[in-house]
Amino acid sequence: MLQSAILQGKNDFATSERVLGTDSGKRSYTSGHVYLASFSNFGDFLLPSSSDSTRLVAPAILAGLGALAHTLGTLVLMIEASGFAAAAATTALGTVIQIALAFLTLGLLSSREVECARHGHTKLFDFPAINCRKHSAVLTEFGGKGDGKTSNTKAFQSAISQLSRLASDGGAQLIVPPGKWLTGSFNLTSHFTLYIHKEAVILASQDESEWPVVSPLPSYGRGRDAPGGRFNSLIFGTNLTDVVITGGNGTIDGKGAYWWDKFKTNQLKYTRPYLIEIMYSQQVQISDLTLINSPSWHVHPVYSRDIIIQGLTILAPTDSPNTDGINPDSCSNIRIEDCYIVSGDDCIAVKSGWDQYGTSFGMPTQHLLIRRLTCISPDSAVIALGSEMSGGIQDVRAEDIIGINSQSGVRIKTAVGRGAYVKDIYVKGMKMYTMKYVFWMTGNYGSHPDKGFDPKAFPVIQNINYRNIFAQNVSMPADLEGIQDHPFTGICISNANINLSAKPKKVLWNCSNIAGVSSKVNPQPCNLLPNKVSASCDFPPDTLPIDNVKLKICSGSGTYI
């Protein structure tokens, strides 16, 4: 009977995956904290129960079944204790006892395996990453407590410090298990993965002593909220190679309301922290996480290259100040894909430094691919280019973008004093619903870091391409305002169908100091964008190097309750 039960268990592997709703081959069980499901087609292997919900098996049988899980490569049946007791009173008592004894025996025989699983390393999950790690540890091994009250700043710091010694021996990963993990700022290391379990929440501390104050970014010259320094980001890394921040859709909660209130009441001595900031680094991956309520920007890669950001859900109140979603800043070779963002500011803002400081630093953002983004941002843009763009922005490609209830689609923001350029921008396959503007460019945006900016530093805006655009419920198709005597040129809009709201603006296309062409655009564009039948606003046919990077399937391991 035991043999037939095992065979039946193998046959029901696919069923178990469907019951739990798992995806991509991920397993919904962990060593010491096992998530299991019951199935109706296990035949006489299924003990009687009055419920079809997930149930609890007697501990002795669970040991045997737990061992079976690793043998079968499938999930294990959990049987309600009351159902097991009730079975003893039925005429099937002999059969039930026979099954129970068989599993008890298997449990005893496999006790060594179970004990090893408790004290050793057991495969828990698979996940995609740029590189896999040889070593694995769990935050609780370093004194971490996931009670939502105890500070884990020292636990994170200790864990990462010790695991950094393994960088030359295949690297290491730190697993944040289920729980609520309160922490202040901590720094990452190279050849390292931070994995946040799907039932784990990292909570940002509101104790400012756990947030070190660091120098302003050199390309900005000062903090954005206040002159001088800034609070270090919650998760920070600098001068790193090969770093991954990922999870099974685990959560990082910035607890931003504390900081938003201080910002609104002018109580900040230093600039608010970001949620994640990686600087002067290469081979960076941030993926498969839910990020909420950052004090300011959520994700800020800066002075870095070879970056993959994917599968993020980013959520902040739409009235929260400066809670941008993803802001690549003076970075090269970046891929942002499959993200859903609700924000109080731009969902994605591409930057490269502020006025004379950005000019002096001289590092552009270039070779950026954005695709399959969904954005809600009532007061800002789906994708913004600038306004801090004094190092230059070039070769940005955006495709398959959805904007909902947002102020504008792709917006270019700059000003006299910024200098540099925004050029070679390509957008195709963008759909927008309930928008103030579809196209928005301005040469008169934003403030300056100080009085040292160059009033003769005029930005160059050229070769801006939009293709295959659809929008409905729009107040105004376009507000395009360049800089007098320094027009924005090479604007191309092709195959754009814009449906107006019930009460649109009287002036549908506001254009000044621009030059370009249009083709198959409705409503009719302004005279500065004359119709040209051959205008196609082509998307580049080549691929960026980052698009050729394929992620590996890695395994997480560790033991936790």
Together in a domain, 134 and 255: yes
Q: 249 and 137: one domain?
A: yes
State whether 56 and 73 are in the same domain: yes
0.75 exceeded by pTM: yes
Average the pLDDT over 186-211 and give the result. 98
* pLDDT given for residue 535 in this prediction: 86
- On the question of pLDDT at 41 being above 70, the answer is no
- Do 209 and 248 belong together in one domain? yes
Residues 183 and 97 in one domain: no
* Whether 37 and 131 share a structural domain: no
Shared domain for 283 and 334, answered yes or no, is: no
Asked if residue 536 is part of any domain, the answer here is: no
pLDDT digits (tens, 9 = 90+) for 469-483: 999 999 999 999 999
**Hey, which residues are catalytic here?**
345
Angstrom CA distances, 252 to 105, 184, 346, stand at 44, 12, 20
Domain that holds residue 381: 324-530
Q: Give residue-wise pLDDT tens across range 360-369.
A: 999 999 999 9
pLDDT of residue 543: 96
Give the tens place of pLDDT for each residue, 210-246.
999 999 999 999 999 999 999 999 999 999 999 999 9
Report pLDDT for 559: 55
One domain for residues 330 and 464: yes
Burial of 169 (C-beta count, 10 Å sphere; 0-12/13-18/19+):
exposed
> pLDDT value at position 125?
87
Give the separation between CA 490 and CA 513, rounded to whole angstroms: 12
The residue-averaged pLDDT of 300-312 equals 99
Residue 6 confidence (pLDDT) = 29
Both 349 and 295 in one domain: the answer is no
* 317 within a domain of the structure (yes/no): no
Residues 158 and 194 in one domain: yes
Is residue 81 over pLDDT 60? Answer: no
What is the per-residue pLDDT for 557? 65
Structural domain includes residue 84: yes
CA 157, 159, 161, 164 dihedral sign is negative
pLDDT in tens, 486-519: 999 999 999 999 999 999 999 999 999 999 999 9
Q: Token pair for residue 295?
A: 């004090």
Instruction: Give residue 378's pLDDT band: very low, low, confident or very high (50, 70, 90).
Output: very high
Question: What is the CATH classification number for the domain harbouring 227?
Answer: 2.160.20.10
How far apart, in whole angstroms, are the C-alpha atoms of residue 282 and residue 483? 36
The domain tally of the chain equals 3
**What tens digit of pLDDT does each residue of 388-434 get?**
999 999 999 999 999 999 999 999 999 999 999 999 999 999 999 99
Same domain for 52 and 148, yes or no, is: no
- Both 116 and 183 in one domain: the answer is no
* Residue 57 scores a pLDDT above 70: no
